[in-house]
Amino acid sequence: MQTIASYVAGRWHEGQQDHQALFDPTTEAEIGRCSSAGIDFGAVVAYARDKGGPALRALTFAQRAEALKAVSAAIHAIRDELIALSAKNGGSTRGDAKFDIDGATGTLAAYAALGKELGDARHLSDGDGVQLGRSARFYGQHVLTSRPGIAVHINAFNFPAWGMGEKLACAILAGVPVIEKAGTPSAMVAWRTAKAIADSGALPEGAFQFIVGNAGDLLDRLGPMDCVAFTGSSRTGRQIRGHANLLDHNVRVNVEADSLNAAVLAPDVEPGSDLFHLFVGNVVVDMTQKAGQKCTAVRRIFVPKERVAEVVEALTERLRAVKLGDPAVEDTRMGPLASARQWQDVRAGIEKLQRVAELACGGTQRPFERGWFVQPTLAVAPGLDVGVVHEAEVFGPVATVLGYDPGDVDTLAATINRGGGGLVASMYGNERSFTDALAFAIAPWHGRVWIASDRVADQTLQPGMVLPQLIHGGPGRAGGGEELGGLRGLHLYMQRTAVQGFQGAIAKTFGRGEAAPEGSKIST
């Protein structure tokens, strides 16, 4: 059995007690363990603050970008090893694992490209300067500079590589050192990824540290220049947001939490059309990719009342055909859930749904004697007003179909918004009066609104795909946070300051100037 270690203060640290077991969710066998016991979190914070921060801040954007490029290459170099490990400690099929790993390397590479464009600068100018005095001589300019603090990244188990990579990309480019705390159920994948990063030597000493096991008193050590970027459940997000030391010092906290994502089939989409097939295909991918353990996965499927039967038939046919099994086997399409806790939670969630909706396929029965498998499960709600469907996130291959009245877009929008704030809502339709009205009504409640029509159907990427160019996050229940979105992703780690004074000096030093090309301008 393998004991995986944390990477702190430039060394690998194996906890000697209080181990947490790590499992293969296909066989339920214990395959490893981890512990953060014995880590001096004060020293970890000091190492990042005293060594990593100054070293990173001394680099230009272009130099940090070079480091990110090298980190991306180092992870890519062990891609096959990570794919195999993702099956063993995570239940990911090859496709699921690639989604995670290539997502990490792609996002790191995208931020490396952004950083290269920024060149020799170390600050970002934010918008144009403004005249403040009688003449243009007295002038103001918003500027973003690296905060001399540290970033604690707490990630969920479902994207061990991407979660680490996307947060790391933004923090490092912004010049802030990272302490990464991985989700425990898939910690072996996170650990191997972290080892590739550390071994690459691409980042300055102290710029990256990695914790497996619990976070000890790490959050008690943070101060006003630090930040926490958290991804996980709303429950843990609430705890972190309410942490006394973080509140006392106004430590910035970004929360990415659960979401009851919606997919909407517009009334004008005919069954059998290309758009209908795209809708069915995307919903099935969303429900079954990573066995539905994806924060952006569709949980609620809204279709015109008179189309419910046809949609349910098309979806169940595809969902029943999904081959479950050992994720390491090539033709397996869906593996098990990542942990026993997930399995229990998802089965309890299906039971809850069963009390208010009918199951068209799937359910709580075990498909195999061993392994934390759940069959793709589609519920059909008797109407729109079914509280549980809009309240409970079942973090597995589970979604509910709800029929809406095509003549009542207001009620449809209000029902979608009952999710309390989401990461993404997708809609499929050509009739702009419908998609425009719905998009406006739900936009304030969502981080992303994704619209497919015949005009873009051949080019769309799936709605569940998070891209470095666009923001990821959502209001309310989704955590109220925001990550990525190109240079917007650096905002968490940088301080916006309004600098006022003589235009000749301010525009030269803090404006876009010669050293900061077009890409460094941020519109707010």
Paired sense of beta strands 398-404 and 298-304, if any: parallel
Of all residues in the shown chain, the one whose CB is closest to ligand NAP is 232
CA neighbor of 292 nearest in space, from 166, 426, 158: 158
**H or E element in which residue 154 lies:** strand 151-154
Minimum CB separation of residue 516 from ligand NAP in Å reads 30
Minimum CB separation of residue 311 from ligand NAP in Å reads 25
Paired sense of beta strands 138-146 and 494-502, if any: antiparallel
| Residue 6 interacts with ligand NAP (CB under 6 A): yes or no | no
* Cβ contact 466:296 at 8 Å: yes
Contacting residue, 96, 100, 258, 482, with ligand NAP by CB under 6 A: 258
Minimum CB separation of residue 146 from ligand NAP in Å reads 24
Q: Which stretch binds ligand NAP (CB under 6 A): 47-55, 122-130, 176-184, 315-323?
A: 176-184
Rounded to the nearest 10 degrees, how much is the dihedral formed by the CA atoms of 363, 366, 371, 375? -30
| Residue 395 interacts with ligand NAP (CB under 6 A): yes or no | yes
- Angle (deg, nearest 10), helices 79-88 and 94-118: 140
Q: DSSP string of 61-103?
A: HHHHHHHHHHHHHHHHHTHHHHHHHHHHTT---HHHHHHHHHH
Q: Which tokens hold the place of 153?
A: 């990244």
Chain residues 467-506 in contact with ligand NAP, contact rule CB under 6 A:
478-479
Minimum CB separation of residue 340 from ligand NAP in Å reads 12
**Cα dihedral sign for 447, 452, 458, 462?**
positive
Q: Which is nearer to ligand NAP, 22 or 266 (CB)?
A: 22
Q: Which tokens hold the place of 250?
A: 């106004």
Q: Which of 170, 295, 393, 482 is catalytic?
A: 295
Binding track over 207-246 against ligand NAP, x by CB under 6 A? -------xx---------------xxx--x--xx------
CA distance 347 to 351: 6
Q: Which stretch binds ligand NAP (CB under 6 A): 256-264, 277-285, 457-465, 487-495?
A: 256-264
Q: Which is nearer to ligand NAP, 234 or 316 (CB)?
A: 234
CA distance 74 to 193: 9
CA distances for 17 relative to 12, 38, 189, 194, angstroms: 16, 8, 21, 22
Contacting residue, 183, 376, 422, 464, with ligand NAP by CB under 6 A: 183
Minimum CB separation of residue 6 from ligand NAP in Å reads 12
Active site residue 514: no
Minimum CB separation of residue 427 from ligand NAP in Å reads 20
Q: Which is nearer to ligand NAP, 292 or 304 (CB)?
A: 292
Binding track over 111-150 against ligand NAP, x by CB under 6 A? ----------------------------------------
CA neighbor of 194 nearest in space, from 223, 228, 168: 168
- Per DSSP, helices labelled H in 27-177 are 41-47, 53-58, 61-77, 79-88, 94-118, 160-174
**How many residues line the site for ligand NAP (CB under 6 A)?**
26
CA distances for 179 relative to 65, 171, 508, angstroms: 19, 10, 35
Contacting residue, 44, 172, 176, 257, with ligand NAP by CB under 6 A: 257
Count of CB atoms situated within 10 Å of the CB of 52:
25
Q: Which is nearer to ligand NAP, 226 or 393 (CB)?
A: 393
Chain residues 399-428 in contact with ligand NAP, contact rule CB under 6 A:
423
HSE toward the beta carbon, residue 384, CA cutoff 13 A: 21
**Cβ neighbours for 121, distance < 8 A, ≥ 6 positions apart:** 60, 61, 515, 516, 520
Q: Which is nearer to ligand NAP, 71 or 152 (CB)?
A: 152
Contacting residue, 256, 268, 286, 482, with ligand NAP by CB under 6 A: 256
Please, which residues bridge with residue 30 across strands? 23
Active site residue 518: no
**H or E element in which residue 498 lies:** strand 494-502
Chain residues 297-316 in contact with ligand NAP, contact rule CB under 6 A:
none
Binding track over 352-391 against ligand NAP, x by CB under 6 A? ----------------------------------------
96-101, long-range: CB < 8 A, 24+ apart: 96/289, 96/290, 96/291, 96/327, 96/335, 99/162, 99/289, 99/290, 100/159, 100/160, 100/161, 100/162, 100/189, 100/290, 101/75, 101/161, 101/162, 101/193
Contacting residue, 26, 105, 125, 158, with ligand NAP by CB under 6 A: 158
Q: Which is nearer to ligand NAP, 239 or 433 (CB)?
A: 239
| Residue 465 interacts with ligand NAP (CB under 6 A): yes or no | no
* Cβ contact 138:503 at 8 Å: yes
Q: Which is nearer to ligand NAP, 287 or 303 (CB)?
A: 287
**Cβ neighbours for 252, distance < 8 A, ≥ 6 positions apart:** 226, 227, 228, 492
Minimum CB separation of residue 220 from ligand NAP in Å reads 11
Q: Which is nearer to ligand NAP, 78 or 215 (CB)?
A: 215
Contacting residue, 83, 156, 298, 398, with ligand NAP by CB under 6 A: 156
Q: Which of 166, 256, 393, 483 is catalytic?
A: 256
What is the binding site for ligand NAP (CB under 6 A)? 154-159, 181, 183-184, 214-215, 231-233, 236, 239-240, 256-258, 295, 393, 395, 423, 478-479
Active site residues: 256, 295
